Structure 1
Amino acid sequence: MLVLSRRVGERLVIGDNIVITVIDVRSDGVRIGIDAPREVQVNRAEVLEAVEKANAAAAAAADDDAVEALRALRPGSERRPEA
């Protein structure tokens, strides 16, 4: 991990097209601005972890009937008559 010290208004450049700017420094945290292309996802780690936990819990709670009902919703999932 690279650790840097920055002051308000100073920037970090990642690659050719991501710029991180220190906006404000307070006793309880730092505000940063992130300028990145639309195709680059920028997420807070705690939000991603919460979503992953919720998805895992939902998957564990799904029974066979629920799984089949979801599969039936997929395009092209119409059941063909058995021969």
Structure 2
Amino acid sequence: MLVLSRKKGESIIIQDQIEVSILSVEGDTIKVGITAPAHIDIFRKEVYLSIQESNRESAAPTPSTLEAFMQRLRNQK
């Protein structure tokens, strides 16, 4: 992990396309601004993890779909 120190008003550039700017610092809260191309998704980590979990649940076979699949296999014999 790269660790950088930045002050209010300073930025970090990633791959010529993404700029991360420090907008404000208030106590232990930092406001960060991110400028990136529209095709790049940007999420807070907790939202990203929730999306990933939801995708895993959606992709998992349910007992009824698994049973239907097994029934089709039996009928093919």
TM-score in terms of structure 2 length: 0.71
For 2:15 and 2:60, the matched residues in 1 are separated by 39
Give the secondary structure class of the aligned counterpart of 2:37: coil
Give the secondary structure class of the aligned counterpart of 1:2: coil
Instruction: State the aligned residue count.
Output: 67
For 1:44 and 1:57, the matched residues in 2 are separated by 20
- Once structures 1 and 2 are overlaid, which stretch shifts more, 52-61 or 42-51? 52-61
Closer, same or farther: CA 59–15 of 1 in aligned 2, 3 Å: closer
For 1:16 and 1:55, the matched residues in 2 are separated by 31
Structure 1 spans left out of the alignment, 5+ residues: 69-83
The residue type paired with residue 22 of structure 1 is I
Structure 2 spans left out of the alignment, 5+ residues: 70-77
Matched, 1:35 2:21: no
The one-character-per-residue Cα deviations of 1:9-63 (angstroms, maximum 9, x if unpaired) are 0011111111111001122321100000111111111111112222333444733
Say which structure is richer in helix.
Answer: 2
Percent of aligned pairs with the same amino acid: 34
TM-score in terms of structure 1 length: 0.66
Root-mean-square deviation (Å): 2.3
